[in-house]
Structures are given as C-alpha cells and as structure tokens.
Amino acid sequence: MSPVTEKWGEVLRTHLALGEEGSPVRAAAAFSAEAGFFAVAGRGDEDGWPYFRSVAPDGEGADPDDVEALCTVCAEAVHPRGLRIAGTLWQRESREVISDVVTGSELELALLRDGDRAMWVVRAAQGVCTFVLVDGDSEAKVSEARSLALDFDSYLVGQGY
C-alpha cells in the first residue's frame, strides 16, 4: 500500500488536531522505512518539515544519517541512547508496548525529550512510525498529545499499516 502524501497530510492534521486552537501538538510526521516521510504537518500554517528533517547546505534534502536512524527506529524500539532527528539529539525517557483497542495489534510508544521539549514516537508496525512533537512541556499537553498519537496509530493499524 503506497500512501499519497496530500491525503495523509490531511489525515495527520485531522487526527492530531493540528488545525485547532490550543492543540497540544506542534508538528507531526508519519514515516515509513520503505517510503520515507509520507506525511508531515505543522500546527496551523506552520511548516512541520524543519522539526523532522535536516536540510543539507546545498538544499538537497535530508541528512542521510537522519533517514537511516529513522528507518532503524521504525524497525525496532527507540534506542536507549536516543535518536537524532533534524540535528537534535532526543533522549528516550520511557518506552511501553500497548495493545491497540480495536485490532489487538501491539503499538510501541516512546517518549523522547530534548531539554524542555517532548516528542512521542509510536511504531504501528515494523517499518511505520509516527512522530508527534508536543507544544510545550506541561504534563497535561504531553498526556493529551500521547492520546492523539495513539489514536492516529490506531487509525494506521486499521488502514493496514
């Protein structure tokens, strides 16, 4: 199943409430080890790309090390040493395995931190991950973003990913 970027960008925006005022999510991305990024969205009109992909000085796109690391994350749990995304080293704070309510499939969920910033990474299936950047560091927003991330990944599982 090959995702269509425009469709998935809107699905990401809808499921993660990126168009709503006061959304706990700043930006989000869906990544496939096979296809690369197939959806990236920022809150409101904000461009979400800078949060998830380094831009090479010559403008040719992502740093290959970032993409390789993301492919590794999508194949296994986030490494305890952390993960470098768009030039930022995110440290893993927690990891848990959750059963999807509808399908019973296992979802891996990791909370990453960079100083006062937080990001959820959810692996729906081998090779497919969602990255959800929390807007702020209040525990309420972190918790609400977690719920939205799990909802989106349940949707992915329902779509066959």
Enclosing domain of residue 75: 5-158
**Using CA atoms, how far apart are residues 77 and 120, in angstroms rounded to an integer?**
12
Q: What is the pTM (predicted TM-score) of this model?
A: 0.84
Residue 77 pLDDT:
61
Amino acid identity of residue 88, one-letter, is T
Residue 70 belongs to domain with CATH number: 3.30.450.30
Higher pLDDT, 74 or 10: 10
d(CA 95, CA 69): 17
Task: State residue 3's pLDDT score.
Answer: 53
Say which residue, 8 or 118, is predicted with more confidence.
118
Q: What is the largest CA-CA distance in the chain?
A: 45
Quote the mean pLDDT of the chain: 80
Mean of the pLDDT values across residues 86-112?
Answer: 84
Query: How far, in Å, CA of 40 to CA of 53, rounded?
Result: 10
Are the C-beta atoms of 40 and 49 separated by less than 8 Å? yes
Query: What is the tens place of the pLDDT at every residue in 57-73?
Result: 445 555 555 666 666 66
Structural domain total, the chain: 1
Q: What is the DSSP string of 47-72?
A: --HHHH----TTS----HHHHHHHHH
In 3D space, the residue among 133, 137, 109, 105 whose CA is nearest the CA of residue 121 turns out to be 109
The amino acid present at 146, given as its one-letter code, is R
